[in-house]
Amino acid sequence: MIYSLQDINPKTYEGDMIFMYGDESAERVLPLGKREVELVKRRRSGEWRAESGERRAESGKDFVVAFDRLPSRLYFVSFDSERKGAEVQERLRLLAAEVLRLLERDGVREVALCGEGTLPEEVAAMVEGLTLADYSFDRYKSKECYHLERLAVSRVFFSEEELESQRRLWNRIYWCREWVNMPVADLNAERFADELEAVAKDLEGVRCTVMDRKKIESLRMGGLLGVNRGSVDEPRFVVLEYDGCAGVESGEWRAESGAGAPGERPIVLVGKGVMYDTGGLNIKPDDYMQEMKSDMAGAATMASVVFAAADNRLPVRVVALLPLTDNRPGGNAYAADDILTMYDGTTVEVVNTDAEGRLILADAIAYGVKNYNPRVIIDAATLTGAAVRAISTFGIAAMQTNAERELEMLKIVGEEVHERLVEFPMWKEYDELIRSEYADLRNCGTTPQAGTITAGKFLAHFAKDVPYVHLDIAGVAYFTKAQGYYRAGASGYGTRLLYGFLQMQ
């Protein structure tokens, strides 16, 4: 989609137009006829009933009505501006999805957006909703799919740079979704690492290091190597470093170079990169294996956050650690009862080979602790079905150790962008559930209960005393059917959350 700013007079504009109306004080400037104004007033008061063929978002003040202005159309978006700001913005994203469906129905590919009685952040939410709703994974389709091609926004709401910074973020979300939707036949660990390296080369302040199997073996990353043993594709360990405060090439802020001042310590992001998860020898049933191409959503999310930060030159230092492999049952696949020695020397009894994500994340977290001096480590992973069972597909299961402040900031941002967090406890009693008779830890709990928490507990062991936040995005990274302003498939969920967190630093 191409975005632009224009001077738009809603009463004289001749093309297709979206008009936002959130405040009755703007009634005198509505681009409507007398009877249309009465209809809108009745609808906002709850008196109006939907006529045949018109869509309704919800009862009350939130609705979309399409008016013919032959040869063009007016898409009138009414919303309740008296709600809390974050709630208003989320309703507008949802209404934007309604508008996009009408635009597709009518074959509209270019549209202008303006309004009265609206705030810039409300208009931004509408544009964001249109952008997120417009995404679909089309590259394998032979028939051209509908997309909104051009969106002109009234320049009274934004500067060019404000709109461009948002566009850069949305572009990174687009690519996050593309990567997650790609089948493993076309995007395995090696190819994904190559793509990340190519993107990093074009960004100022970003350094990308790609480690192959030989290097990973020299690092003794037993978790990543163990999970990879059943695959014919080599693993990769990708490190993305972005320094928005000074030249990344100097490496002055790395722990091994002696950095220690709090202001110089990076935020370390860790993303689960299981390119496809069969479950290994504990193979998944067929109804659970479909869509397992999305098991690398954590890695795609963390890479996208780093790239978005670099695009908009955020003044932060951030490192993304991305362990990449698929989990297959072939060859010399690792098995239940195996004992793996992790990067930090911890021994782990394998109880279930389908609990592989925590094994590769553990190596990456331990690597971050040893080789950087992190202010905080945050991981994102499609880790447990238990998270989905606990909170469904409406948010992220979150846990923390020594990071109360950071998690609270994430909660605040999550409410603002509607990528919400639910905090799970990390009580010491859960440690007993991952204690092993034969090794330091088990990779699964001793009971089926509290699966999301025991996974978080397992990972926290490798963070040691470093402030640590675990984000289980299993329920939100990939939707099996359309939800809100997301179509079926990858959502990019978590990118706006973590980007907003970086903005607060």
Q: Catalytic amino acids? A: 284, 358
Nearest 5°: the CA angle 133, 137, 139 is 140
Whole-angstrom Cα distance, residue 332 to residue 61?
Answer: 61
Could you tell me the two tokens for 110?
């270019």
Identity of residue 247 = G
Reduced DSSP (H G I as helix, E B as strand, rest coil) percent helix, strand, coil of the chain, to 5? 40, 20, 40
Neighbours of 326 (CB within 10 A): 26
Distance CA(501)–CA(486), nearest Å, equals 22
Q: Which residues contact 486 (CB under 8 A, 6 or more apart)?
A: 132, 133, 479, 493
SS3 291: coil
Alpha carbon 152 to chain centroid, angstroms: 26
Q: How many CB atoms lie within 10 A of CB 488?
A: 15
Task: List, in sequence order, every beta strand (DSSP E) within 200-277.
Answer: 206-211, 236-243, 267-271, 273-277
The answer to whether 413 and 500 are in contact (CB under 8 A) is yes
8-state DSSP, 486: B
Q: Which residue has the tokens 């508008």?
A: 99
Contact 364, 237 (CB under 8 A): yes
Please state, in angstroms and rounded to a whole number, the distance separating the CA atoms of residues 180 and 297.
Answer: 6
Instruction: Kindly state the DSSP code that residue 330 receives in the 8-state scheme.
Output: S
3-state secondary structure 140-157: CCCCCCCCCCEEEEECCC
Taking only Cα atoms into account, the Rg of the chain, rounded to an integer number of angstroms, comes to 24
467/496 Cα distance (integer angstroms): 21
Closest by CA to 94, choosing from 48, 125, 50, 53, is 125
* Beta carbons of 40 and 65 less than 8 angstroms apart: yes
Q: Give Cα 202 to chain centroid, integer Å.
A: 22
